[in-house]
Amino acid sequence: MRLAVLSDIHANAAALTAALAEVDRRGADAVVCLGDVVGYGPDPGVCVDLVRARSAATVLGNHDAAFADDAELARLPRDGQTAIRLHRELLSPDQAAWLAGLPLVDMYEGTTLVHAAPLEPALWTRLDAFDAVRNQFAAFDTAVCFVGHSHVPAVVSDTVGAFKVRPGRRYLINVGSVGQPRDGDPRLSFGLFDTDAFTYENVRAHYDVARTVARVRERGLPESLGQRLVRGA
């Protein structure tokens, strides 16, 4: 099975639409989502509906959690709080209930899916230090665990010196962000994993960034949320 793994869409409908078009062009058999369907961007309703329609499994992200929980909302940066308050006005009760019902961790086709980290997933740990990453492998049993949250693509093995995905080793794979990349590359990012061949590719594709920037302005969201899309940071 060719599995497309999307994460951190952040209400960026132009990016999500382009990502799904690339998923279809590459002939993926299924799509899963690692959360943060909402937050930051201008079009949460469109993104919720697309993910519900296309994703075989979706887990809860911290911005999704903040939508329904003021304690989680307070943990977000100020511009993130602004966006979530707007999204609360834009989503229907049915869309909101779907977000609230997402699990923290799920499994699909022999892989583990979690937004931030498999070890204590509700803490939303950012895996940007060696010790934090090393401690995660004891928290999942599958050969591969997919994560997002940092918006930076990466592949980490439990074996020192392993840089390619290959059978017999275990991997923590960050698929990057569809809707708000932060690695200096404004192109959308997602993962494509072949469960039979045990191969992984980080896919990058262009989308209409200017369209999303314009929508950010139309919604009255902070200008910084549009400009960071241009920078990919």
Domain holding 141, by residue range, is: 2-231
Give residue-wise pLDDT tens across range 174-229.
999 999 999 999 999 999 999 999 999 999 999 999 999 999 999 999 999 999 99
Average pLDDT, stretch 27-47?
98
168 class by beta-carbon count within 10 Å (0-12 exposed, 13-18 middle, 19+ buried) = exposed
Which single residue is written with the structure tokens 């932060």? 182
In this predicted structure, what is the pLDDT of residue 162? 45
In this predicted structure, what is the pLDDT of residue 164? 61
% the chain with pLDDT above 90 = 90
pLDDT band, very low/low/confident/very high, at 133 (cuts 50, 70, 90): confident
Cβ count within 10 A of residue 160 = 5
> What is the rounded average pLDDT for all residues in the chain?
95
Q: What is the CATH number of the domain that holds 181?
A: 3.60.21.10
Average pLDDT, stretch 24-41?
98
Give residue-wise pLDDT tens across range 105-132.
999 999 999 999 999 999 999 988 777 7
Give residue-wise pLDDT tens across range 61-120.
999 999 999 999 999 999 999 999 999 999 999 999 999 999 999 999 999 999 999 999
Give the closest residue to 146 by CA, choosing from 20, 8, 23, 1: 8
Give the closest residue to 21 by CA, choosing from 10, 35, 6: 6
* Cα–Cα dist 122/33, whole Å: 17
> Structural domain tally of the chain?
1
